Copies of this chain bind each other. A is one copy, B any other.
């Protein structure tokens, strides 16, 4: 990752944190987090933020833009583990397990908050409520993993794609980044394919099917969900329980 200058954002002024999705911080917590934040960094599209095996990467949060977290599998094929959206942590593994076993690459211009003014141990000791909220978030993340695992083993290509569309749309919506039934979707076909484990050719056919049935379409870097009910039925997508608030640093 090559650090590029970016307008420094003070934690107290962070607009992201104010979104209803995120758990409000007490004054003491904001002060602590502000001390923890040591840089605000810009990264250009297709640049790596972290590479597999890297040690000592500091804890970061993605502030703006899209990134992918990926690994290479059998035959060197890329598998995208998740899309990293604003508010998501980057390299939490590194801070506690010593090294990361995945790479993270910016897809769009990205801004990152870097936290190494205090360690996680200090955070856990000083702010147990915040720590608990972070722990909760991990459990929620695992819940999504579980859904994907089940879906992956019992569903077909359409189900995979439907889940990706719905889950991504909802995550953006929670962050105030969706608009009606449209949200930004700055992904190439190859990115989508590598996320759900399809070939780009078959993905193309699957996308065509959803478009033909007027369920969902990709136009010009945006995802349009025209028939959410039908899309949801394709994956047994659970009705939105009002999502609980996430922790954010």
Number of copies of this protein chain within its complex: 2
- For residues 148 through 172 of chain A, which have their beta carbon under 8 Å from a beta carbon of chain B? 148-155, 159
Stretch at the interface among A104-112, A133-141, A175-183: A133-141
A73 partner, pick from B75, B141, B151, beta carbons under 8 A: B151
Is chain A's binding surface mostly helix, strand, loop or mixed?
A: helix
A236 within 8 A of B: yes
A35 within 8 A of B: no
A102 partner, pick from B120, B141, B146, B152, beta carbons under 8 A: B146
A171 to B128, CA, bound (A): 30
Which residue in chain B gives the minimum CB-CB distance to A195? B153
A101 within 8 A of B: yes
A155 partner, pick from B74, B138, B149, beta carbons under 8 A: B74
Contact check, A135 vs B96: say whether CB atoms are below 8 A apart: yes
Point out the residues of chain B lying under 8 angstroms from A141, CB to CB: 142
A197 within 8 A of B: yes
A: residues with CB less than 8 A from B are 71-75, 77, 79, 81, 92-93, 96-97, 101-102, 120-121, 124-125, 128-129, 131-132, 134-136, 138-143, 145-155, 159, 196-197, 235-236, 244
